[in-house]
Amino acid sequence: MDPLQIGQSRPRGDAAAKVAGREPYAADAYPDNRLWARAVRPGVPSGRIVGLACDAALAVPGVVKVLRAGDVPGSNRQGIVHKDMPVLADDRVRCCADAVALVLAESPAAAAAGAAAVAVEIEPLPGVYDLDAALAEAAHLVHADRPGNLLARATIRKGDGADPLARCDVVVEGTFTTPVQAHAFLETESGVARLQPDGTLWMQVSTQSPFRDRFEIGHALSIPYDRIHIEAPCLGGGFGGKDGATVQCLLGLAALHADGRPVKMVWDREESFVAGYKRHACRLHYRLGARRDGTLQALHARIWYDTGAYAHLGAEVMELGMEHAAGPYRIPHALIEGWCVHTHNPTAGAMRAFGVCQVSFAFESMMDLLAQRLGMDPLALRTANALVRGDTNCAGIHLETSTGIKACLAQVARHPLWREREIWRRQAPPFKRRGVGLAAVFNAAGYGGGVRDAAIAKIEMDPTGHFIVHNAVSDMGQGNSSAFMQMAGHLLGQTADRLRIRQPDTRTAYPSGSSSAGRTTYTFGRALTFACETLKSRLLNRAGLMLFLQDDDDLVLEPDRVRHIPTDRSVTLAQLGAMMSAEERVCLGQFVAPTCKPVPDTATGFFIGFPHVIFSYSAHLARVEIDTLSGVVQVTNYLAVTDGGHVINPAMFHQQIQGGVAQGIGYALYEDFITHHGRVRTEDFTTYIIPGALDLPEIVSVACVEETEATGPFGMKGIGEVAMNGPLPAIANGVADAGMGRICRAPLTPERVLDNGVRAPATAQLQK
Interacting residues with a second copy (CB under 8 A) = 226, 449-454, 456, 510-511, 537-538, 541, 544-545, 548-553, 579, 581-584, 586, 588, 590, 592, 594-595, 597
Q: Are 126 and 46 in contact (CB under 8 A)?
A: yes
CB of 459 to a second copy, least distance (A): 12
* Straight-line distance from the first to the last Cα atom of the chain, in angstroms, rounded to the nearest whole number: 66
CB of 446 to a second copy, least distance (A): 10
Measured CA to CA, the distance from residue 736 to residue 512 in angstroms comes to 44
CB of 327 to a second copy, least distance (A): 26
CB of 436 to a second copy, least distance (A): 42
Return the number of the residue (578 or 705) whose C-beta is nearest a second copy: 578
Q: Are 417 and 362 in contact (CB under 8 A)?
A: no
Strand partners, 390: none
Measured CA to CA, the distance from residue 89 to residue 68 in angstroms comes to 8
CB of 565 to a second copy, least distance (A): 15
CB of 739 to a second copy, least distance (A): 49
Return the number of the residue (235 or 535) whose C-beta is nearest a second copy: 535
Residue 1's Cα: distance from chain center in Å? 35
Measured CA to CA, the distance from residue 427 to residue 291 in angstroms comes to 35
- Interhelix angle 405-414/378-385, nearest 10 degrees: 160
Return the number of the residue (73 or 450) whose C-beta is nearest a second copy: 450
Return the number of the residue (23 or 453) whose C-beta is nearest a second copy: 453
CB of 476 to a second copy, least distance (A): 23
Measured CA to CA, the distance from residue 208 to residue 515 in angstroms comes to 5
In this structure, which amino acid lies at residue 138? A
CB of 334 to a second copy, least distance (A): 25
Return the number of the residue (271 or 316) whose C-beta is nearest a second copy: 316
How many other CB atoms are there within 10 angstroms of residue 292's CB atom?
A: 9
Q: Which one, of 371, 180, 342, lies nearest residue 277 by Cα?
A: 180
Return the number of the residue (303 or 531) whose C-beta is nearest a second copy: 531
Measured CA to CA, the distance from residue 180 to residue 82 in angstroms comes to 21
CB of 133 to a second copy, least distance (A): 36
CB of 448 to a second copy, least distance (A): 9
Burial 301-317 (b: 16+ CB within 10 A, else e): bbbbbbbbbbbbbbbbb
Name, in order, each residue with C-beta under 8 angstroms of 232's C-beta and a sequence gap of 6 or more.
26, 204, 205, 206, 207, 210, 474, 503, 504, 505
Name, in order, each residue with C-beta under 8 angstroms of 91's C-beta and a sequence gap of 6 or more.
48, 49
Burial 505-530 (b: 16+ CB within 10 A, else e): bbeebbebbbbbbbbbbbbbbbbbbb
CB of 545 to a second copy, least distance (A): 6
Residue 505's Cα: distance from chain center in Å? 21
Q: Are 628 and 428 in contact (CB under 8 A)?
A: no
Sheet harboring 765-767: ordered strands across?
A: 603-604, 150-158, 333-342, 296-308, 281-290, 170-178, 765-767
Q: Which one, of 307, 316, 245, lies nearest residue 76 by Cα?
A: 245
Burial 342-362 (b: 16+ CB within 10 A, else e): bbbbbbbbbbbbbbbbbbbbb
Return the number of the residue (384 or 588) whose C-beta is nearest a second copy: 588
